[in-house]
Structure 1
């Protein structure tokens, strides 16, 4: 693996737009492993190997994205594109982060609805999941090493991890709490966060209120346009209206990423609307976990089945395609609105010492967030079953030891050897582990 020191972190380089598109497509096709894996991949590709964004900028933007509803990794990708090439860069990187996974999930949804055999596909991506586990661990080690500079920051990271893993506190609450601690610490003892006593220079640019308001207004109109068309042409009783309305609401309350709302979405889709059965919901989640793109793409699977099974006046396939497209639209358009509206404010917020303290503390907490996601991902990759154990206000999701999958553990160990010892590139590691997953399924089926 390339060393990040080959590109000066203090002097990020700006790629051409064509190069940004090529790398964005690469990231979109390789963004396995949920938010932890996707953030790790972007950090490696953008910060470490190419130096397009500095470590500080990356973590500052990641902090900000944790405050927003929606998939934080997709929003981070949009911000990186915006930072490098303005709105067209944001659209390019944000869309290319979503489109490959959306096309794969759509194809699999169509196959699933037609009862096609997906065992070979699941086996292939099982190996990829094991490889992603090693990639995520590597990213966690690297980010922690660079972000946790003082004992207080390390304590904040550990505290955030415990708050999430043991007490199941919401992501926004943990991040906001860290920000408050950092704000107060910077006012009294800034050196505890590795800060100087001096405030940074005041930003020279004007406050971008007009751009923010205009972006929100324009985005809201675009977001609502398909829903208005559905209401006018098909009415409020049609499944397309119900699908669009439900996932529109979900898009603005999905704080903390997809994991925070998956149980609510599954319960509503299965019990309230009857769009699919509980086992089918689990299948859809499994497909979303093993394909590129945000985990929230499982919404497209749900939307497709809903439209496929109640398509009138369309054919089942057309109804499914329309519902899947509408679901994807109402889920991801808000992500672009939030970033384009508020991204101009991110760097302004980092100038004052107290705000820098808040962001430094949040950066430390985000390391704990990534550690929690890494643990969650590791448990669900290496064990087929988990159980919740409660004691007082705390609870832990523990693996059932008898469900340990030694084949996946062996593939993950292979991936770790290739990454840490052999320094192999991500494409090589993914290809080898995908082949290993397929071979394991054929031998031990």
Structure 2
């Protein structure tokens, strides 16, 4: 008799979503993100929301962050308000917003006063240049992790749209509105067609 074939590997199930956070938990979580987010909070926001607290799946985080790109204002600030409002209404949005901006404003105000006095020191400039390199690395890490749901699903169309938008804005330096004007309705149409085909 031929030997039994090994069982097919099954993908690991996603961890269950945790209970909605309280107002205090929202404030503390976003305060931690902002205090850890040297050079940008996106990396720590995704890690805290998806990996640590499991308040959203990776896909939900990507969709929410994509929505925040199309709202006026800084993307991560928009994310805090949208995320907090989703779970705790207006009070949740205010709590997440206060946690994100409150502690850094105090720290930056103190650092600005110190920089005004000691900013001409050459060693300090070199330190800041090194910090900027680390910030770029953190940003690239967050981008890669946000791409993983598309790669795992082998979503070729989504990756092509992503590459096209990156090329148009990052390499060709086309204006953001000129790129998003066709990209947004195209992405919505593709998603609508796929969901309609899946439910047919």
**Structure 2 residue corresponding to 1:38, chosen from 32, 38, 41:** 41
Does residue 1:161 correspond to 2:169, yes or no?
Answer: no
Alignment of 1:275-314 (within 5 A): none
Alignment of 1:183-202 (within 5 A): 183-186=188-191, 190-191=193-194, 195-197=195-197
**Cα gap change, 1:196/1:49 in structure 2, threshold over 3 Å: closer, same or farther?**
farther
**Structure 1 residue corresponding to 2:15, chosen from 3, 7, 10:** 7
By how many angstroms is 1:61 displaced? 1.8
Structure 2: give runs of 5+ residues left out of the alignment.
1-11
Q: Deviations over 1:143-168 (max 9, x none)?
A: 11113542111111110110011221
- Cα distance in 1 between the residues matched to 2:126 and 2:107: 16
Alignment of 1:28-177 (within 5 A): 28-33=34-39, 37-113=40-116, 115-117=117-119, 119=121, 122=125, 124-148=127-151, 149=153, 150-177=155-182
Q: CA RMSD in A?
A: 2.8
By how many angstroms is 1:17 displaced? 2.8
Q: Deviations over 1:67-122 (max 9, x none)?
A: 12211111112211222222222112112212233223322333344x33464655
**Structure 2 residue corresponding to 1:21, chosen from 3, 8, 27:** 27
- Cα distance in 2 between the residues matched to 1:91 and 1:146: 30
Contact 1:66–1:171, Cα closer than 8 Å, also in 2: no
Contact 1:40–1:135, Cα closer than 8 Å, also in 2: yes
Alignment of 1:296-335 (within 5 A): none
- Cα distance in 1 between the residues matched to 2:179 and 2:19: 33
- Cα distance in 2 between the residues matched to 1:173 and 1:13: 40
User: Which of these two proteins has the greater Rg computed from alpha carbons?
Assistant: 1
Q: Deviations over 1:179-218 (max 9, x none)?
A: 222344456xx34xxx34267xxxxxxxxxxxxxxxxxxx
Contact 1:28–1:101, Cα closer than 8 Å, also in 2: yes
Total equivalences in the alignment:
185
Q: Deviations over 1:324-361 (max 9, x none)?
A: xxxxxxxxxxxxxxxxxxxxxxxxxxxxxxxxxxxxxx
Contact 1:14–1:84, Cα closer than 8 Å, also in 2: yes
**TM-score, normalised by the number of residues in structure 1:** 0.37
**TM-score, normalised by the number of residues in structure 2:** 0.76
Contact 1:12–1:54, Cα closer than 8 Å, also in 2: no
Higher relative contact order, structure no. (Cα contacts within 8 Å, ≥ 6 residues apart): 1
- Cα distance in 2 between the residues matched to 1:118 and 1:92: 38
Alignment of 1:135-284 (within 5 A): 135-148=138-151, 149=153, 150-186=155-191, 190-191=193-194, 195-197=195-197
